Every structure is written in C-alpha cells, then in structure tokens.
Amino acid sequence: MTVEAPPLGAADVLTAARRTAGRIRHTPLLVAEGLPGILLKAEHLQHGGSFKTRGAANAMLDLAADHVVTGSSGNHGIAVARLGAELGVEVTVVVAGGAAAGKAATIGRLGARVIEVAGGVAHRDRYAREHAARTGAAFVPSSDHRSVVAGAGTVGLEVFDAVPDLDVIFVPTGGGGLLAGVCLAAEGLRGAPRIVGVEPATARRYARSLAAGCPVELPPSRTVADGLRGQRPGEIPLPIIQRRVDELIEVTDDEILAAMELLRRDGVEAEPSGSVALAGALRTRFTGRAVAIVSGGNTPRRCRADVR
C-alpha cells in the first residue's frame, strides 16, 4: 500500500532552511541606482551562481544517496555537480541538445558525467529518470521534487524576513520550483505580498496549464532565457502555484535582454534567465515596494547591499 505524502507547506521550507544551513549562502538584497522602487534578490551570488543550489542541497542532504542523476539545462546541473564533489556523491547530468555549451563544460569540470540527448527538455527529463532507474541512482530533477521545491522556497523566506512591508515579488518561472517554493514561504504571512510569476512568451507552460485546468505540455521552444524553456509543468509545483500565485505574466526576448542590459549597467552580470523577473516588473509598471529575483548570473560590481 502506497502512503501519499502530505502536502508541502511553509514548515517544509523552514526544515529546508535548517538542513541546508552552511551549504547555501544568505544572499543580499541589492539597490540598483537605475531601478528606483525595486530591490534585487541577488541569487546570482549564490554558491554555483544561481538559486538552484538551494533545492539541490536540500534534496541531496535529505536523500544521502551515493549516486545522483538529474536532467538540466545548466544551473541545476552545476549545483548538483558542485555538491556531489563536496559530498563525495557520484553525479550524472543529462542535458538536451541546444543546452549552453559553457555550462555543460562547467558540469564536466566539476567531476560529473555529462550525457547529451537529442530532443527537448521533456525528453531529457524522461531519459534522466529512466537512467536513474536503470542504474539504481537517486533522481533529483531540477524542479519537480518535494525537497527541491522546499529548498528553493528559502529564497522567499529570506525576502519576506528582510522586507516585511513588501507589496509584490516577481519570480522567474521555468520549471516552477522557485515560484512554488516562494508561494509556500508566503503561507501564513500577514498582509502577504502579491506573487507574480514571469514566463518567457514562448514557454508559458504554467499560464496555459492554469487556463486549461490541467497540465499542458508545450512543444520545444526557443528563448534567450534557456534555463526557462521547459515544456511541461511539474506535478508538484503546479497545484501549489494554482492555489497561491496571484498572476502569471509573459515577457518577450527583447524585454528580457533590455532588463539584462539595465542590470549590467548597475554591475549585475545577470544571465538572460536571471533577468526575467526584472523584465516582468518593468512591464507591469507596478506601484509600491517590489523585489525581483535575479535567479542566476555572475558577480555584481557597482550594486550596494540594501541597508535600512
């Protein structure tokens, strides 16, 4: 008899924060001179260069497996490979055709085995799951996993603790793990902020699934935000997002690149996927106090830590 796991909640995010203490970095909120009213949650300063370290660390520490397999377009694979090297865990990362060559090379340099497969992200993830089953390894997907979602939610914990008067938080949305985690972290907050997920216009798997009332798998898509080009919403993130997210909006590649250029002018060397939340904030012309999550990139030079 299979026992169904209880629904994820804010307590799981708190557990993840305790479990990963010492393995993840508490990233700062940055003030960019050219972006009044918007604070930037600097996950590009996270270990491994992206928020993905949070979910990967929570899952790998929870599983305590000897061999981990994942499918990733880059940042999650880098996070898993980096943690595997630290923990002495064998890591295999399956990448889809068209994945960023530089990120695949970084995964290999970190000691992981890299397998490239033809087809889109959905095929990549199916192959990774099957490979894990064949080899007896633990499968740690980039977003559709309870511990990964809870770990990603620690981003929200940090934001809500630092900005109790927050009006809106903009969250880049690909696999949905980060958006679902932020939704969990907001549970029980008084005067909870609006949570806005931001998707590339060509990869709106969550918006279309919510509109249809069931999971919708998209064909492989093209977008400059290569980390957000998945095809099918996750079984775990989808119901969380469905019950809590306030809005899902789209941004074009031109808007993503314009936001990336604004970030870089202020010293934040964000990648396109890491610029999507800011692109969404700029499109909505929000009023009030906002945070945009910079989910991945390189090192800032001119931004200063926000002090209040």
CA 233/CA 155 separation, integer angstroms: 21
295 among known catalytic residues: yes
Question: For residue 61, with 0-12 CB atoms within 10 Å meaning exposed, 13-18 middle and 19 or more buried, which class applies?
Answer: middle
Q: Is 41 a known active-site residue? A: no
Written as one string, the DSSP assignment of 284-305 is HT--S-EEEEE-BB---SS-EE
Compute the half-sphere exposure of residue 186: CA atoms within 13 Å on the CB side of its CA: 25
DSSP secondary structure, 63-90, as one string: H--SEEEEE-SSHHHHHHHHHHHHHT-E
Q: What element of type H or E holds 138? A: strand 138-139
**C-beta neighbour count of 135 within 10 angstroms:** 13
- Side-chain-side CA neighbours of 133 within 13 Å: the count stands at 6
Q: How crowded is the C-beta side of 179, counted as CA atoms within 13 Å?
A: 34
Q: How far apart are CA 156 and CA 186, in angstroms?
A: 7
Options 41, 50, 52, 273, the catalytic residue: 52
Give the active site residue among 73, 142, 221, 295. Answer: 295
Q: Dig out the tokens for 203 from the structure.
A: 């990869």
Nearest-angstrom CA–CA distance, 216 and 196: 20
**Secondary structure class of 41 (helix, strand, coil):** strand
* Catalytic (active-site) positions: 52, 295
